[in-house]
Amino acid sequence: MPSNKERHRIIPAAYVIFRDGDKILLQRRMNTGYEDGNYGLVSGHVEQGESYKAAIVREAREETGIELRQEDLRFVHFMHRSQKDVYNERADVFFVAERWEGEITNAEPEKCDDLSWFDKNNLPENLIPYIREALRYIEEGIMYSEYGW
């Protein structure tokens, strides 16, 4: 039986939806050990002492080489996610960015083998399932969801 500390661990993560009209930016994961071969959003864990906005500004720079400003991020969704096979929960915060500085490039080719724009109405089949759900909720204007419970 896991200890209480293991039983209720919440891992914070931040996500950004880069929008250009009806297109959104997705990256196909590889060599990460999690959802490799599937598309997701630019994202990452929030480090201790870091805000969600600061985390996604950092992750966007690391993964795409661009500069975001916190004031250009718009909060659109919070997902409380459970993973039944492990003793932790996720607190996922999603932002939209429609402005940034620099040209988007694949700055982590060892972790991402495709970084492409997709029409929001024609997303790839191999999109990570909870990301698909979050995007649907965001499109419907729903600010909170639970996944995996």
Banded pLDDT at 1 (limits 50, 70, 90): very low
Instruction: State the chain's maximal CA–CA distance in angstroms.
Output: 50
Q: Name the H helices within the chain.
A: 4-7, 52-64, 129-139
Q: So what's the pLDDT on residue 59?
A: 97
Least confident of 7-11, 38-42, 66-70, 125-129: 7-11
Q: Model confidence over 107-140: pLDDT tens digits?
A: 999 999 999 999 999 999 999 999 999 999 999 9
Q: Is residue 5 predicted with pLDDT exceeding 60?
A: no
CB 142 within 8 A of CB 76: no
Q: So what's the pLDDT on residue 9?
A: 80
Rg, Å, the chain Cα set: 15
Q: Is residue 16 predicted with pLDDT exceeding 80?
A: yes
Fold for 4-147, please state it.
Nucleoside Triphosphate Pyrophosphohydrolase (3.90.79)
Q: So what's the pLDDT on residue 83?
A: 76
Averaged pLDDT, 13-19: 97
